[in-house]
Structure 1
Amino acid sequence: MKNENGNINVADVDTELVEKIPTATQMGKVYQRLIFDTALPHESEVDGIIRVYNDPICKVIDNYNCSAYYEPSYVIARAYQNGGF
């Protein structure tokens, strides 16, 4: 599986660090929580999706060789607000 730019292979993981790659549904839940946890006043869900998906933190969350994906949602939201992990 590659992202739309074709330059990241999300299945290329260190199997000593990651036993199982998260499913699309699991990743969707992570991003859904981040979108709602960081929602701006009067922001639509669509605008929230665009805001979060265009943030550099997505590259960190999508890197399964680090622990960002596995962090509790409040830690991910705080990292987003602070500009990174």
Structure 2
Amino acid sequence: MQIKTKKQNADGIVRLETSGEIKEILIKEDILKPEETKIHLCFRGKNSSGIIELSKEEIDSIYKQVTPKMKMLGNIKVMRFAK
């Protein structure tokens, strides 16, 4: 997984990039308030780690955009070579 983001600081806008593996997916759900469900993607890389928090609406939006393209993704083969 790769993360690319922009951050505002005193020098202007700085671009940050990091990569890592998703280690855990947490779902926080409240029975009384199901609309406030949050999904946390916990990741860890060589020099960084963090948590990406997504709302139910954001997950639904991602799902709607990815679902029609699943057939195209199904034809992809991952090739790994020894270094």
TM-score (norm 1): 0.28
Q: Which structure: greater helix fraction? A: 1
* Structure with bigger gyration radius: 2
Q: Which has the higher contact order (CA 8 A, sep 6+)?
A: 1
